[in-house]
Chain A
Amino acid sequence: DTAVSQTPKYLVTQMGNDKSIKCEQNLGHDTMYWYKQDSKKFLKIMFSYNNKELIINETVPNRFSPKSPDKAHLNLHINSLELGDSAVYFCASSQTNGQPQHFGDGTRLSIL
């Protein structure tokens, strides 16, 4: 059983489109995260949710909107995609905020 699963694994789309990435965790964790990993492999937090409540919102363009329907799911919707959005997006979860994290396998987003 995959602990943190995100879909799709690959996403290739045109500039200006809107897309969503889904994430689910079956670990019973309270906290979920979205990270962006750039081409230099630097991993930067975007959002963090604790029990469906937003607790961390880094300086991310408001074209990015996370949604947590329940504590096991955290989805990421991106409007008006730009070339600079190309990256690998990782979902993660932890027992509570700041604790060791379990990561999904990432979604590689490529903007044409």
Chain B
Amino acid sequence: TQLLEQSPQFLSIQEGENLTVYCNSSSVFSSLQWYRQEPGEGPVLLVTVVTGGEVKKLKRLTFQFGDARKDSSLHITAAQPGDTGLYLCAGLLYTGRRALTFGSGTRLQVQP
């Protein structure tokens, strides 16, 4: 079992639709990061959330950190083909080793 479970694993939607990706765990994280990875490239950081209940917006992307700092969500409004990619959440455990643990990933395809 993964420490960070993402759902859904795959998502194929039409341009203009809204979607939400979830990142869940039973562990508490001191911070959580979201990355997007495109084919043939490395992951690129989108946002870091640190405070329980925190909400951050990046244009049409809204990120939320759960109140208990065990989960996070990414909501995309009016998805565009350019949003296509692999979305990865990564958490830094509150206690224990100081290394990022990556989620299982959500592969998003936005059809024009």
**Secondary structure call for the B interface:** strand
Cβ of A92 within 8 Å of any chain B Cβ, yes or no, is yes
Of the residues B33, B48, B98, B102, contact of A42 by C-beta under 8 Å: B102
Cβ of B112 within 8 Å of any chain A Cβ, yes or no, is no
How many residue pairs at the A-B interface have CB separations less than 8 Å? 50
Cβ of A83 within 8 Å of any chain B Cβ, yes or no, is no
Bound-state CA distance A45–B48 (Å) is 19
- Asked if residues A97 and B98 are in contact (CB atoms below 8 Å), the reply is yes
Bound-state CA distance A36–B55 (Å) is 31
Chain B nearest CB, measured from A100 CB (Å) = 5
A45-87, CB under 8 A of B: which get 1 and which 0? 1001000000110000000000000000000000000000000
Bound-state CA distance A103–B33 (Å) is 14
Q: Which residues of A does B touch, CB under 8 Å?
A: 4, 40-45, 48, 55-56, 90, 92, 97-98, 100-106
Q: Which residues of B does A touch, CB under 8 Å?
A: 2, 31, 33, 37, 40-45, 48, 86, 88, 92, 97-100, 102, 104-105, 107
Known contacts A90-B42, A101-B100, A106-B40, then 18 further A-B pairs from the complex at CB < 8 Å, ordered by chain A residue = A4-B42, A41-B105, A42-B2, A43-B88, A43-B102, A43-B105, A44-B102, A45-B99, A45-B100, A97-B99, A98-B92, A100-B33, A100-B45, A101-B33, A104-B42, A105-B42, A106-B41, A106-B42
